[in-house]
Amino acid sequence: MHASEMRFVGGATGAWRVHSMRAIRGETLGGGDRIAQVPAGQPLPPGMWTLRGVPSEARYTRASERDALQAVQPPLGRPAASFAALIPIRKSPAWWALAHDERRAILEEQSHHIRFGLGFLPAIARKLYQSRDLGEDFDFLTWFEFAPEHASAFDELVAGLRETPEWAYVDREVDLRLVRVA
């Protein structure tokens, strides 16, 4: 097991209550009223499903973009950020067949993922986990935290991204909205 692996367990325990779960593309995830976030080395509670990921190194971000992000990105765990979203995503074989420069061009030059997303910081805190190399069904686990007053901004953000050329390569996506209970 990777030392920094994070596991998200859907079941009856955990600090986050599932407010809604919606399959955007492909199969949904079965059940679970709560989500537990369990770091590597800690025992897994029983659950209906477990998703695993490793915190991501930046693959596509340029230095100027990294600096712009670092200047405004908030940390996870802010007391006011009692809403969260867990959005596992898989991209199609066509995406993975592309070269790195082609993927970067779709993500940013065509879809403006980073530039568009930056506009929602510091309201939204984010963390990206990679799952593909762990042999998981999803390629990425994306995690976001925000205050209730920014829930509609978050809806605008995901709706905007889903209209981009990048999202034409998304072949499985489940959108879980969560409320902190502990």
Q: Which residues lie near ligand HEM (CB under 6 A)?
A: 56, 58-61, 87, 89, 91, 113-114, 117-118, 120-121, 124, 126, 128, 140, 142, 157-158, 161
Please name the helix (run of DSSP H) or strand (run of DSSP E) that holds residue 47, with its range, or none. strand 47-55
Is the peptide bond preceding residue 122 cis, with omega within 30 degrees of 0?
Answer: yes
Structure token pair of residue 23: 């399959």
Smallest gap from Cβ 136 to ligand HEM, in A, equals: 13
Alpha-carbon 91 to chain mean position: 13
Structure token pair of residue 123: 């309201």
Pairing of strands 140-146, 47-55: unpaired
Residue with Cβ nearer ligand HEM (159 or 182): 159
Q: Please check whether residue 7 is in contact with residue 38, taking contact to mean a CB–CB distance below 8 angstroms.
A: yes
Residue with Cβ nearer ligand HEM (7 or 103): 103
Smallest gap from Cβ 31 to ligand HEM, in A, equals: 22
Residue with tokens 């209730």: 148
Smallest gap from Cβ 45 to ligand HEM, in A, equals: 26
Residue with Cβ nearer ligand HEM (41 or 64): 64
Residue with Cβ nearer ligand HEM (44 or 148): 148
